[in-house]
Structure 1
Amino acid sequence: MGLKIEVDPGEVGFDAERLGRIDRHFAQYVETGKLPGWLVLVARHGKIAHLSTHGMRDVASNAPVQPDTLFRIYSMSKPITSVAIMMLHEEGAFELTDPVSDFIPSFADLRVYSGGTANAPLTRPATEPMRIWHLLTHTSGLTYAFHYLNPVDELYRRAGFEYGMADDLDLAGCCDEWASMPLLFDPGQAWNYSVATDVLGRIVEVASGQTLDEFFRTRIFEPLGMTDTGFSVDRANADRLATLYAADPQGKARQHPRQAQMRAAAFELPKALSGGGGLFSSAHDYHRFSQMLLRGGELDGTRLLGNRTLRYMTRNHLPGGADLEKLALGAFSEVANAGKGFGLGFAVIDDPVAAKVLSSAGEFSWGGLASTAFWVDPAEDLTVLFLTQLIPSSANPIRPQLHQLVYQSLVD
């Protein structure tokens, strides 16, 4: 169960001294107060070649980040939900072109924002039904309350979604509320980061007959040995849970103003299970998940997805093969979008040159609100994981810098 380095870096193509640059670089983030602490894991050919931690999981008590620290992974929940929905797709539960309303009736007869204010929005009927593939690709027309760019975003905040799910609603109720609000655009016409993956979580429940936490536990977590991952934290593991921090106007990490409430809530199963951002996990568990993805849906004899399905999910599915720079509305981006498409639950590098980052075509990835990140590079047989707890993820250029530091260390 314990994480450890499993292979000499040189045996899997790394220069050990160059790998050390990762630690030296990100140690500066802690020393200058930009991050409380972090964990980095780099694996190649299925073996962990680099594993390091630095700084604190809780600054006030001087408790260090350790290999078994538990983190809020926020939107790194999304790839897990996307795997869950595609597992059901493989069982014939639906076609990707099926309307969402087949599973959630409130998504019939959707309307699209056409002007006006949040107090008096103008709308028109949607020209296209919202389909399951729209949810998987974030081309559904849904949004997030935190975007602050469109009157519809304000409608989400007024309905109680500013900090995630509305307190008084379960997942089914949240979906009905989102369906009652206007879309930003007709489904399929643009890319906008949104609650779409939470809607997918509800489809998992309807199609499987299980609650989302039960499906995850029995179909994904237990089969993969992901014993630390879930929508809440066992009180016996309270000391392992990292404190959540937020960047102040000077870029320094300060304890998040809602940390006390959020820590208390971490030990209770939430009323609304957020497949878009509600999971806690550990480096051990997410490494297991990443290795399953790298191996085409299988790990240690347990197969969750067929390898053709995984390859299909990690192609660019944006209309016309566009990259995110062309199709995204601009409401949200943690990294540059040129050269990067979006598959079924993952960002996908189509052109590393256009992306201006050391990488490989076909790399797929995602990250979380608290500056966590992971990627899988099938061309290099490589997985990388970075865990910390700082909101927002845009506060520091961690992800592009981690890319350049990892790839410069490969020398085979």
Structure 2
Amino acid sequence: MKASVIRRLTTTLLAATLLAGLSPGVATAAPPATHYTGVLRDGGTWVADVPAGWNGTLVLYSHGFGALEAIDAPSPEVRQAMLDRGYALVGSSYDPNGSLWALRSATRDQFESLAAITGIIGRPRLTIALGTSMGGLVSGQEAQVGGRLLDGAVSTCGLMAGGVNLNNYQLDGEYALNQLLRPEDPVKLVGYASPAEGAAAAAQLVTTASSARTSAAGRARLALATALLNMPTWSNAQAQPPGDAEGVAAAQYDWLVAALPFIMPARYFIELSAGGNASWNAGVDYAALLARSPHRDTVRALYRTAGLSLRADLTTLTRNADVRADREALRNLTRTSTLSGHLDVPNLTLHTLYDQLAPVEFEEQYARQVRAAGDQRLLRQAYVNRRGHCAFTPSEIIAAVRAVEHRAVTGHWGRVATARRLQADAESLGLGDTPAFVAYMPGAFVNDR
């Protein structure tokens, strides 16, 4: 691949030393890093930063949904902390002529970027994929096919259930809002002609949800919809995680009205990538979905308080579900935007417990896939007790990368990916943030078709 390369020195002082074959916890002053950029065959761009005291590990960073921009770290703070500890970084924009849901090109463009920078700086001692949100799905795909190019992967806040399940779980919750709270005037849920059409539909559902909060019956039906949407159970408006059904329902409502204006317009870009609607609910048994949900007790309690028949509402949802996928779109999204469960290299996933855009339950579904493929020895999953999507501190991300480095060098995980060891390692980095690793087992992801 031919790539134009521009080299310039940054003004930031960076640092790196080596300790026991891995990057150290404490950085010292070092010469500036070198910044590289280049152009990919599809017109995308890549960027890389290589510190003068490179520790030999190259991190291939896959960014999330939202912009087709070449970046090589989740945030400026993470970039600085990683460069200070000797990591080289590289990442691409993905195809600038494609959809913001860039799964058609992402893995290809990332591996081309990797080839471009290694052609300049030489072969790394270790290459670790790192991805965020949609990019977590990308790094998961890289981990299942990149055995010759990668030594390991870290998937943070990843959409590990894949694009098809992503659209389906969102459809389930939005459909319940339509069917139970505005059956005479349902909003459009699929087949958007533009992001603006999705945004308008989201605004209508937010208004409906807000009105429903004023009655016990409305709160019960909202709770059923937010359970199907896998909404988190602790919101930013609450000082502590609630322990009662009303408190949990209030948290899920808070997350619902914040999430809908993002996820409904975003559907347009997934459908653009797939070539049509790839989600469906025709034939779905909504009683079976709720029976497996970790939120079922909250829903049942609120229905009892409201004096409503939960069975009747679930029967209504099942009977009237009629959204069908476009077959070609489903084939396309399955091909580009799902995971097989197979792993070529070790993968550590990292998730906050209260994630409104990539439910923590995705991790349960991904673990089942990996077990079914027989590659569970290569997977470890870690959790952070925090609210929000991709709300990780720099020390948490670096600790996760270091754990995968350990697995790549030694050939075994040992206890390096446990919550206690990750917490201790993150604290040892001296970054001044507050890591919050915690032992956790997510509930079932019930929307897997």
Q: Normalised by the size of structure 1, how large is the TM-score?
A: 0.29
Structure that is richer in helix per residue: 2
TM-score, structure 2 normalization: 0.27
